[in-house]
Amino acid sequence: MEAPVKIDISLEKNIAYLEAVLSDSTDIIKRSLWVGDNKYWIYMVYMDSMIDRMLVEGKILKNLMYDLKTVPEDRGIEFLKDNGINTADATVTDSMEDALKNMFSGDTLIFGNHCDKVLVINSKGYPNRGVPTAESEVAIRGSKESFSEVIRVNTILIRRRIRDTRLKVKQMSVGVRSKTDVAIVYMDDLVRKDILKEIEKRLKKFEIDGIFDSGSLEQLVEEKWYSPFPQFQSTERPDKVSSAILEGRIALIIDNSPMVLLLPTTLNCFFQASDDYYNRWGAVCFTRILRYLAAIVSVVLPGIYVAIATFHPEIFPTKLALSFVASRQGVPFPLAIEVLLMELAFELLREAGIRLPGPMGGTLGIVGGLIIGQAAVDANIISPTVVIVVALTALSAFTIPNEGFASAFRLVKFYMLLLSSFLGLVGFVLGGITILVHLASLKSFNIPYLMPFVASNINDREDEKDSIIRFPIFSMKNRPVFTRREARRRINKKNN
Amino acid sequence: MFSKNNQISKLQMKRLLILDLFATTVLIVPGLAAGTSGKARIISVILGGIMSLLYATYIVRISQMYPDNYFGFMKRCVGKFLAWIFMLVYAFKFLISMIYGIALFTEVIRMAFLSDISKYVLAAAMLIIAGYGAEKGIEARGRTGEIMFYVVILPILIIILLSVSEIRMENLLPIFTSSGNDVFYGSYLIFSTFSVLELLLFISPFVKGRRHIYRSVTGAIICVGAILVLLFVATVGIFTVNGVAGEQWPTVILTQVVSLPGGFLSRQDGLMLAFWMGSVFILLSGYLFYLGEITTHLVKVKKRKWIMICWIIIIFAVFCLFQDFNAFSDIYRQYLIYVGVPSGIILPGLFGLIHIIKGGGKSDEKN
């Protein structure tokens, strides 16, 4: 590891160092200026187009060039901080490394003659998408806002929703070259300190060149890399993150990523959508049950269809069994292969649909799904029942309100299909047991992944009120198990 | 953090115990005592349940004599060498029970709906899954059991409920038709199927608040006992005593004759057996888990998964030696009656007695 570089008292040396390390970097503006009545020598460094030009060039530079009186040579930088700039958001540091890191984030650096410190002015103003509209987690009722790639915009979106001094935003950088900003956001009085400590420990546990999205970070800090199930919840919705923070959970915001990670997480969290809390509880209960059923269908349907139709057709009533047999007449493939081919074809369509530009993706769905599907059925390559099974499976998978989680279901579906193809219903059950055991062994920051369906007595069964059935909001008096024990009360009745 | 403590809750232990008992009894008990106590079998089932309750009290009492684990307890009572030998005895007992469990599983599955598939393939598949479950540790086992409980118990209750309309009371009455000896022998046979309660000696150190597990244990026995009584009423009420005695697996036949409303499924026995497989898995992974525990006390192995792999190979090899299930089943029954159950009573009692003689009773009470 390189030794930290300190700012030198000589400005010539500092300039020489900066010219060397920032050589061949045309996007960095470096300029010597003489300011004040006594022509005090300063050196300014900032990233082109990453700063707020109005602030730096329109205000700070103007102020330095025209409005400054005599600058004391012995404490020039401190003087400039107090009298030369018109923003409160400025700090002084003696570390070249910190200064450069901030400069690359859009801050402006001012070095002074005979001074071993540098003035770091927060002048970030890089281009961004603003606050975009949620696309992957659409809600009919509730906020339409979504996170963007800019970490500060994202923290603001949370701050706007939780105006409390106890909301803490701890920032650190990850990646030795990318120096990506990572913000750990939590409520100081609600968070479980052991979990907070653990995530901080895990974030410091590795050294990597760069992190460009929350997905990479998630894989580096999760416990069981081999599990198809995500151990962090990712979301693009600020209201979801704010609500999670108020439940004692921790949000990880990664610069350049519009997806925020929430931890700890349980299987149940993935079935909760934002508007579940904005709509009336009866309708929400129905939707939740539907989502759970759909999740089960998305995993089991192809497998159980193959198992029963191939090995135990006697389970179906005779008419239904005959209708299945009739629909397969002339199909050259064994049923398992037929279903597998169709499932793979659907996955191909899905993948192609994602990669193609928006309007073309939709067209592909119509061409692939309808035209090719119909042609395949007409040509007796596949049976109509299999088309129905695969379509139902796909439809069910889309009702899961989290893409990462739905992907896990898609993978597991193939595992179930494989076992069912070889061992029929026995294989299907053994597959189901393996998944159950795997889920039972999973933990997210030591909170069982299957909570509240297991061990819910730990929190007096309170977590069950927001699981398959969402109880009316007034009855969800306590926070879930993610919150530290002594702060679990959420709703108190006021006696007016 | 609250988890990762290698412990399970009392509720989880109770559900695991219910599933363990359910797996061994639900298919065996209805046919077991048919030839011994006839219609009076309902009394045999109840008496067998009471005997099991007494046995559970005895085992729980002994398990409360040690603050650590059963191996440590044996070591303190009879010394390291003998404790080692007795651990081997327990390993042998679990091994035999495990092989019987696998044999029962393959036999039932092949008889009910997969006659074309080799029993070795079925056994290997189940053993691998059971090994996976055991390797995940006691916490994962507890959580799996907690969920599996609903998957296994609810369907059988639904079947019993649906069969009520077909029960004929004249098949059940009069109750007192057999001699006292037959009833008692039938009770002992039923009690022998509850011998899995011996596992309490090994599971109790993993239970949070182990001092107060008695209520959970009795709850589990009463729950399974009640299901067995209901099953008795349903099977004999529908098929008559002779009908039940003539069938190897009357419970399976019950699931075949009872039809689900709506007529969507014409044969639900396959699905019901699929749910029963869940309890067999819990039982087998339990035996493997405790075999693993015993092995870690006997030899030093760093990775638990290697122990599991070794045991799976041994169990599969021994399973392959037994070709005829009925012959093996008879041997196992004889073993249970004359070796399994008596040793399950005598061995813990012996250690308990030595412990009391050594004056350990009072000090351990405080733990």
- Secondary-structure breakdown of chain B: helix, strand, coil percentages, each rounded to the nearest 5: 80, 0, 20
pLDDT of the residue at B348: 92
- Asked if A324 reaches chain B (Cβ–Cβ under 8 Å), the answer is no
- Asked if B125 reaches chain A (Cβ–Cβ under 8 Å), the answer is yes
Selection from A381, A390, A397, A392 nearest residue A343 by Cα? A390
pLDDT of the residue at A193: 93
Structural domains of chain B, with CATH:
10-365 (1.20.1740.10)
Mean pLDDT of B211-231: 88
**A365 or A207, greater pLDDT:** A207
Place of tokens 């105006």: A163
The encoded tokens of residue B128 equal 């691998």
Tens of pLDDT, residues A445-476: 989 999 889 887 777 788 888 989 999 988 88
CA distance A375 to B93: 61
Query: Computed over its alpha carbons, how large is the radius of gyration of chain B?
Result: 20
Q: Are B206 and B138 in contact (CB under 8 A)?
A: yes
The string of DSSP codes covering B289-345 is: HHHHHHHHHHS--S-HHHHHHHHHHHHHHHHHH---HHHHHHHHHHHIIIIIHHHHH
Highest mean pLDDT among A70-79, A131-140, A320-329, A406-415: A406-415
- The DSSP output letter for B68 is S
Region of A179 on the Ramachandran plot (φ > 0 left; ψ -120 to 50 alpha; else beta): left
Selection from B150, B201, B206, B134 nearest residue B22 by Cα? B150
Q: Do A455 and B12 touch (CB under 8 A)?
A: yes
Which positions ≥6 away from B220 have C-beta within 8 Å? B14, B15, B17, B18, B21
- Count Cα neighbours of B11 within 13 Å in the Cβ-side half-sphere: 13
The encoded tokens of residue A459 equal 């929190």
Which site among A322, A425, A434 would you substitute to test the B interface, given the most B Cβ atoms closer than 10 Å to its Cβ? A425
Instruction: Residue count of chain A, please give it.
Output: 496
What are the two backbone dihedrals, phi and then psi, of residue B162, each rounded to the nearest 5 degrees?
-70, -25
- Beta-strand runs (E) in A188-302: 233-235, 250-254, 260-263
The side-by-side arrangement of strands in the sheet containing A260-263 is A167-174, A180-187, A250-254, A260-263, A233-235
- Asked if A67 reaches chain B (Cβ–Cβ under 8 Å), the answer is no
- Asked if A450 reaches chain B (Cβ–Cβ under 8 Å), the answer is yes
Selection from A421, A144, A461, A467 nearest residue A295 by Cα? A467
pLDDT of the residue at B367: 40
Q: Are A36 and A71 in contact (CB under 8 A)?
A: yes
**Residue in A194, A316, A448 nearest the CB of B143:** A448
Region of A50 on the Ramachandran plot (φ > 0 left; ψ -120 to 50 alpha; else beta): alpha
Task: Label residue A380 by pLDDT band (50, 70, 90).
Answer: confident
Checking if the pLDDT of A35 tops 80, the result is yes
Tens of pLDDT, residues B212-221: 888 999 999 9
Mean pLDDT of A23-27: 87
Query: Computed over its alpha carbons, how large is the radius of gyration of chain A?
Result: 29
- Asked if B115 reaches chain A (Cβ–Cβ under 8 Å), the answer is no
- Asked if B12 reaches chain A (Cβ–Cβ under 8 Å), the answer is yes
- Count Cα neighbours of B350 within 13 Å in the Cβ-side half-sphere: 12
Task: Label residue A108 by pLDDT band (50, 70, 90).
Answer: very high
pLDDT of the residue at B326: 83
Shortest Cα–Cα distance, B226 to chain A (Å): 25
Shortest Cα–Cα distance, B117 to chain A (Å): 8
pLDDT of the residue at B238: 81
Mean pLDDT of A41-58: 88
Per the prediction, chain A carries an average pLDDT of 89
Shortest Cα–Cα distance, B135 to chain A (Å): 10
pLDDT of the residue at B133: 92
Tens of pLDDT, residues A282-306: 999 999 999 999 999 999 999 999 9
Q: Do B129 and A430 touch (CB under 8 A)?
A: yes
Q: Are B312 and B305 in contact (CB under 8 A)?
A: no
Q: Do A447 and B3 touch (CB under 8 A)?
A: yes
Which positions ≥6 away from A19 have C-beta within 8 Å? A30
Residue of B nearest to A446 (CA): B3
What are the two backbone dihedrals, phi and then psi, of residue A37, each rounded to the nearest 5 degrees?
-65, -35
pLDDT of the residue at B219: 92
- Helices and strands (H and E) in chain A: how many: 16, 12
Task: Label residue B40 by pLDDT band (50, 70, 90).
Answer: low
Least confident among A113-122, A214-223, A228-237, B296-305: B296-305
Q: Do B270 and A430 touch (CB under 8 A)?
A: no
**A364 or B207, greater pLDDT:** B207
**B10 or B167, greater pLDDT:** B10
Tens of pLDDT, residues A152-161: 899 999 999 9
Mean pLDDT of B44-60: 89
Per the prediction, chain B carries an average pLDDT of 83
Shortest Cα–Cα distance, A160 to chain B (Å): 32
Tens of pLDDT, residues A192-242: 999 999 999 999 988 899 999 999 999 999 888 899 999 999 999 999 999
- Secondary-structure breakdown of chain A: helix, strand, coil percentages, each rounded to the nearest 5: 50, 15, 35
Q: Do A425 and B122 touch (CB under 8 A)?
A: no
Which positions ≥6 away from B290 have C-beta within 8 Å? B90, B94, B199, B202, B203
Selection from B280, B310, B281, B282 nearest residue B295 by Cα? B310
With pLDDT > 90 as the criterion, what percentage of chain A qualifies? 46
Selection from B5, B271, B328, B296 nearest residue B138 by Cα? B5
Mean pLDDT of B167-193: 76
Mean pLDDT of B250-260: 74
Checking if the pLDDT of B312 tops 50, the result is yes
Which site among A201, A250, A436, A464 would you substitute to test the B interface, given the most B Cβ atoms closer than 10 Å to its Cβ? A436
Q: Do B274 and A425 touch (CB under 8 A)?
A: yes
Which site among A308, A426, A460, A481 would you substitute to test the B interface, given the most B Cβ atoms closer than 10 Å to its Cβ? A426
Checking if the pLDDT of B3 tops 60, the result is no
CA distance A353 to A358: 8
Which positions ≥6 away from A346 have C-beta within 8 Å? A390, A394
- Asked if A318 reaches chain B (Cβ–Cβ under 8 Å), the answer is yes
pLDDT of the residue at B15: 92
pLDDT of the residue at B365: 44
